[in-house]
Amino acid sequence: MEFFKFFPLFLTVFLLNKASAEEQSSINAASEKAALLSFRNGIVSDPHNFLKDWKSSSTIHYCNWAGIKCNNSTQQVQKLDLSEKSLKGTISPSLSNLSALTILDLSRNSFEGSIPMELGFLVNLQQLSLSWNHLNGSIPKEIGFLQNLKFLDLGSNKLQGEIPLFCNGSNLSLKYIDLSNNSLGGGIPLRNECPLKNLMCLLLWSNKLVGKIPLALSNSTNLKWLDLGSNKLNGELPSDIVLKMPLLQYLYLSDNEFISHDGNSNLQPFFASLVNSSNLQELELAGNKLSGEIPSIIGDLHVNLSQLHLDDNLIYGSIPPSISNLRNLTLLNLSSNLLNGTIPSELSRLRNLERFYLSNNSLSGEIPSSLGEIPHLGLLDLSRNKLSGLIPEALANLTQLRKLLLYSNNLSGTIPSSLGKCINLEILDLSNNQISGVLPSEVAGLRSLKLYLNLSRNHLHGPLPLELSKMDMVLAIDLSSNNLSGSIPSQLGNCIALENLNLSDNSFDGSLPISIGQLPYLQSLDVSLNHLTGIIPESLEKSPTLKKLNLSFNNFSGKIPNNGVFSWLTISSFLGNNGLCGSSSSSIKGLPKCKEKHKHHILSILMSSSAAFVFCMIGISLAALRSKMRKRFAVCNRRDLEEANEEEEEEMKYPRISYGQLVEATNGFSSSNLIGSGRFGDVYKGILSDNTKIAVKVLNPTRTAGEISRSFKRECQVLKRTRHRNLIKIITTCSRPDFKALVLPLMGNGSLESHLYPSQIDLVQLVSICRDVAEGVAYLHHHSHVRVVHCDLKPSNILLDEDMTALVTDFGIARLVSGGGGGEDNHNNSNNNNGGGGGGGQDDSTSFSSTHGLLCGSVGYIAPEYGLGKQASTEGDVFSFGVLLLELITGKRPTDHFFEQGAGLHEWVKSQYPHQLDPIVDDAMDRYCTAAAERRGGPRPCKRLWREVIVEVIEMGLMCTQFSPSMRPSMVDVAQEMTRLKEYLSHSLSSLYTRR
């Protein structure tokens, strides 16, 4: 009864408390919404309209706004993820009012300004990701005291100042710290009173850190990844620290100023401290000041070790045979040290070794023939040592060998003819040795050489073997400074890919073959210091590509031409040829003038007669051609009618989507749904009634009806007749008299173009994307029952799905080759720059169709033979793919004003290859290597590994962009090579890229 007496009071209190709670909840909701709107006001650019619902008048609750996740019961914001949305602006301090926030991810955008100190008030924050922006200033010290913070990623910004002390009390939660790729200075702020015992990953590479590694880091006994590379750290190698890290997998200390123990003379303590690190996979100590001998205990490191980099130090002494115990090594780099002694034959036990570098040391003795027993060896660099003796015949057993670099040694004997069995060899450099004998015909006939052959500065003698003419894919041949003799064979004209030929300082006699000047892509020719006679071939004057020529110190005679390369040469190119003279109009100073001879009237008569005969023959040929063309067009018209009937039958197999449904799906083709525009139409995103996301490619009605019909027909033909995982798939078409559209799947990651400027992909993704594209184009060229030449490969025509799988799109100007070997279809159509459904950024390249008397493709990607009137071909696609590779590596568009007038991207890269690539490779590593660390949540990949892969991609790009179409590899070969690179990266970095 007492209860009922006080029940009204209890009810009143309950209702008041409930009202108070609701009122407080309403206040909190208003505060959180205000904080979000304040943050939204700081964003000045939202190109994808991702934040369209973020406004005060929105009818959508803020918990349902894009990028936000709330607690279901309290309706407080717990997660704010706006990563990779191309947002630009500043980070508002008002975010500190989101008191329940646990995850804040604004990475991979274009945020500027400083990091608000107020973020340090988010006491529940567990993950803070602000990497890959343009943030500057210092890191607020308040962030160092967030007690629940587990994941901190501020890498790849412009942060300066010192790193704050991470001292978060008793709750030692930090597991991941990435402050890499900034300009942070000072020392590494770790103290024993603030141990980071749960830390698993510490990435501080590429900053300006100084001092020693603090001993307090040894408290982080769970550390797996430690990357302190590319700083100014000094002191002894941290043996006492890594000794207490039994879980260590990746240790990168390269490019600092570390020394070894005992006054920089003893490496033993450091390697001894790693003996019990059973998980260690990669160790990089390159680019320091390490001295001392490599201790034999290095062989006691765990067998899991796959990469060891000790290059670019001051390490001396011999190579311990015990290294051969590390039988899972795939990469061993000891180059650029002070090593002496011999190469241990025991190294042949490294059966998994793929890349072996010993260059730039003082190694002596013979090359062990046992190296020929390493089955997977693809690169062997023993250059710049003091090696002597013969080149082992056993090297011919290395069937995977691609690069053999033995230059600048004291090797003697002859070149083993068995090297001709190295069928994958692309580079052979034996220059600057004491090699004698003749050039073996087996080696001269190595058709696999694609980049260069350098045998210069040896003692080779005898004539050039005619088999050298089989080397039809090589770009450069240097046989200078030998004792070669005899005539220069005219068959060298068969090396049609040759761009640089150096035969200087030999004993060649006879005349210079006319065929040399007829090499279609020759840029540099040096035949100086020989005994050549006769006149200068007229073919050199007519060469459109020749830029450098040296004929000095021979016995040439006659008049020096005035045109072509001769219009800018100086007297230095002709010294020592007493029989040469120049015309009165010659621009070469210092030449004696030629005596003019009287012209004979008979010559004029003969020329007039010849001209009349030629014109007569031309008239007859044109008449025959006119008749032939009539018949050809009659056949083409009949074929078009047959194809139209086939298309009508094929159309019935695809789902019907009405014009009205497309209008509804795209909000009336509104500008807010526009994701790309091109020469022939626009691309809109849309959602069908069944929630299928689509891209609608609408052909522009302002174009002529004939152009629309041809482009629409061609794209339908290709999309309906091809099926491959790396080609865009067609959903259906919609065609009315005044409206034509293709309906395609919407690709979640847009076009490759949208990920390049600025770069947003890492090297692993790059290789994977290029492999996908190569596979798709190889299918079009070689496996589809109707072969297709794409004609417009470029980044904006490559789309990326949710998994970053690449799909080739936009077949508006493609060519069909019926029956896999028939004549090419003559219908060309114009290009839609944004392809089928990606929605990449606006493409600034221009596409052309040869039916309008212009080139077929996009400026910068067009194969050179198209400019000479050649028809579109599969080789032209290979050229475009090669330009794409070089664009991805250099980060430069092929139309960039950086290039000299008349020179293209591929020509510029070629001019830097092979000895001036460092700036290109370093720049690529800055973009792709750092992107990998940020994206994957792991440490930076091994610098030397990435460098080699980048060089290989460049080399593939150069091979694909050879001027001679027949010398370019097929897309099947390219796809196989890209697959090999992808597998190599995956094998080497699989553990490194394990997702956090």
Residue ranges of the annotated binding site for ATP are 697
Q: Which residues contact 109 (CB under 8 A, 6 or more apart)?
A: 82, 83, 84, 85, 86, 87, 88, 132, 133
Which letter does DSSP use for residue 865 in this model? G
At residue 317, the 3 state secondary structure works out as: strand
Phi, psi of 186 (to 5 degrees): 80, -165
Q: How far apart are CA 699 and CA 721, in angstroms?
A: 21
Structure tokens given for 698? 């609408």
Cα separation, 183 vs 156, whole angstroms: 9
Catalytic residue among 178, 478, 792, 810: 792
Asked if 387 and 411 touch (Cβ cutoff 8 Å), the reply is yes
Q: Does 792 participate in catalysis according to the annotation?
A: yes
Please tell me the number of Cα atoms within 13 Å of 118 on its side-chain side: 11
Region of 529 (left: φ > 0; alpha: ψ -120 to 50; beta: rest) is left
Within a 10 A sphere around the Cβ of 136, how many other Cβ atoms? 16
Q: At what angle do helices 905-912 and 874-890 cross, to 10 degrees?
A: 60
- Quick check: 195 and 216 in contact, CB under 8 A? yes
Is-contact 108 84, C-beta < 8 A? yes
Q: How many C-beta atoms surround the C-beta of residue 633 within 10 A? A: 11
Q: How is residue 23 annotated by DSSP?
A: H
Give burial (CB, 10 Å; 0-12/13-18/19+) of 719: buried
Residues in the annotated binding site? 697
- Asked if residues 184 and 208 have their Cβ atoms less than 8 Å apart, the reply is yes
Q: Alpha-carbon distance 761 to 755, whole Å?
A: 7
Q: Is the dihedral of CA 363, 365, 366, 369 positive or negative?
A: negative
Distance CA 992, CA 306 (A): 12
- Give me the numbers of helices (H) and strands (E) for the chain, helices first please: 16, 52
Can you point out the beta strands (E) in 594-727?
674-678, 681-687, 693-699
Active-site positions read 792
